[in-house]
Amino acid sequence: MSTDTRLEELGVSSLDEVDEPAFSALAERHRRELHVHCYRMLGSFEDAEDAVQETFLRAWRRRETFEGRSTFRAWLYRIATNTCLDLLAKSRPEPATGGEVLWLQPYPDRLLDELPAGDTDEPEAVAVARETIELAYVVAVQHLAPRPRAVLILRDVLGRPAKEVAEILGDSVNSVNSALQRARAGMREHLPAERQDWTGGEQDAGTRDLVRRYTDASVATDIGTIATMLRDDVRCSMPPTPGLNVGRDAVVKDWVEGGFEGMKGLRPLLTAVNRQPAVAFYLWQERAGAYLPLTIDVLRIAGGAIAEITTFHADRFPRLGLPESLPAEAR
């Protein structure tokens, strides 16, 4: 059965004829893509999980509203989008001074790999899919007002026609087109000017070498060597902890004052987050007799140098599918 299910493919004339287990099975097939959609809207992995659960609950309760004119999948997207808008209407956090999105959470590539292939065999579609899940894109989206944000994602990411987006949001086509123009202008203001070289999947040799050298220098806590890999305008942040550092000198100063050079006993584990290279660091703990989670650095590479480092705390490790510890043999 196609993932784009219509009523006739279900062999029923109404969703009222489908029992709850069958309905749940149909909805679950779309969980991952709906979760990614809500993640783009909300910027938080956990908030996206709550939004998907609420979407499924609303869909079951309102199943009689599915008339079969669109696909079951499109109907779920409509509910998910409006669920996110409702959540944002109740509590819309604002970016911190300097544009930090303190509620930002990473999305593991292992879960992104669960997304249905769909039309993403086309090179352009693959590029769009990767670019619009990168942290820089997700952060930029969070600066938009909720409805323009929804319009941008529905039109530019999901490729929905303006008429359909207008129906989803209960707006006119003119309002949707106007919101899209505002959203695109906002994205140009908050996205990095350059396109990053690293595009996920197949990494080029230069990127792999840069990540390796960054990893080695970090384990050695060699700030001087790391500094040579940073762009002049590098940005470093650690959500949800406030404190954005911009520029090589500011970043290095923060590392020195934070005592990074005196930290010993680090072990790395390479991974991938939001279709970007990432390095999870573990710190030796004598009492535990093992290396325990410390932080994970997600790198944005541009022009053969590190343009941005987004660091997440150890509490993200389980969500990312990373080991709870590394054994003493890793020493």
Per-residue pLDDT at 328: 87
Average pLDDT of the residues in 87-95? 91
Rg value, the chain, Cα: 22
Residue 198 is predicted with a pLDDT of 35
Express each pLDDT in 197-250 by its tens digit: 334 444 688 899 999 999 999 999 999 999 999 999 999 999 999 999 999 999
The residue type at 150: A
Residue 314: is its pLDDT beyond 60? yes
Confidence of residue 92 (pLDDT cuts 50, 70, 90): confident
Give long-range contacts, CB 8 A cutoff, 24+ apart: 141-145. Answer: 141/40, 141/41, 141/43, 141/187, 142/43, 142/95, 142/101, 142/103, 142/104, 143/95, 143/99, 143/186, 143/189, 143/190, 144/183, 144/186, 144/187
Share of the chain above pLDDT 70, in %: 88
Which pLDDT score is estimated for 187?
Answer: 95
pTM of the model: 0.91
d(CA 299, CA 153) in angstroms, rounded, equals: 24
Mean pLDDT (the chain) is 89
Exposure of 32 in the CB half-sphere (CA atoms within 13 A)? 13
Element (H, E) at 31: helix 31-42
Check: CB of residue 235 under 8 Å from CB of residue 101.
no
65: pLDDT strictly greater than 60: yes
Q: What is the pLDDT of residue 178?
A: 98
C-beta separation of 2 from 110 below 8 A: no
Q: How confident is the model at residue 11 (pLDDT cuts 50, 70, 90)?
A: low
Q: Which of 2, 237, 263 is nearest to 118 (CA)?
A: 2
Instruction: Give the pLDDT of residue 35.
Output: 97
pLDDT at 330: 53
Chain position carrying tokens 């989206």: 141
Domains of the chain: 7-190 (1.20.140.160), 205-330 (3.10.450.50)
Backbone angles phi, psi at 107, to 5 degrees: -125, 115
pLDDT reading at 6 higher than 80: no
pLDDT single digits (tens) 245-293: 999 999 999 999 999 998 999 999 999 999 999 999 999 999 999 999 9
Residue 196 pLDDT > 50, yes or no? no
